[in-house]
Amino acid sequence: MRHLKPSDREAVETLIDEHFPFDCNVIPIDAHTWAIHGSIPVGGEMILAEFSDEEDAQFALELLDTAERMRTNPPERNES
C-alpha cells in the first residue's frame, strides 16, 4: 500500500474536510514540484496542494476522488 508523507497526508485531509467539488488534475510546477490544480466555484482556477513528485500527487488525487465518491454515494448499510 502506498503512503504519503505526513505533511502531504495532512494537505489531502484538509482538502477532504473542505468538501470542494473537485474538478482537478495534476500539473508540473518545476522539476521537483507537482501540484493538484483545480477549479472551485468561489476561487476559480487554483493550486490546491503541492507535492515533491508526480506519483504522490497522483495518489493524493486518487484519495480525493475516492473521498468525494464516498461522500456523494455512501455505501449502503445492512440494518438487520
- Is the Cα dihedral 42, 73, 13, 55 positive or negative? negative
Which pLDDT tens digits describe the chain residue by residue (80 residues)?
578 899 998 988 888 887 666 678 999 999 999 999 887 777 678 888 999 999 999 999 998 888 888 888 877 766 55
Q: What is the pLDDT of residue 55?
A: 94
Reading the block at residue 32, the C-alpha cell is: 521537483
Quote the pTM value: 0.76
Question: What confidence score (pLDDT) does residue 30 get?
Answer: 94
pLDDT at 58: 94
- Amino acid at residue number 66: T
Cβ contacts of 36 within 8 Å, gap of 6 or more: 15, 24, 25, 26, 47, 48, 49, 50, 51, 57, 60, 61, 64
pLDDT of residue 72: 80
DSSP letter for 55, please: H
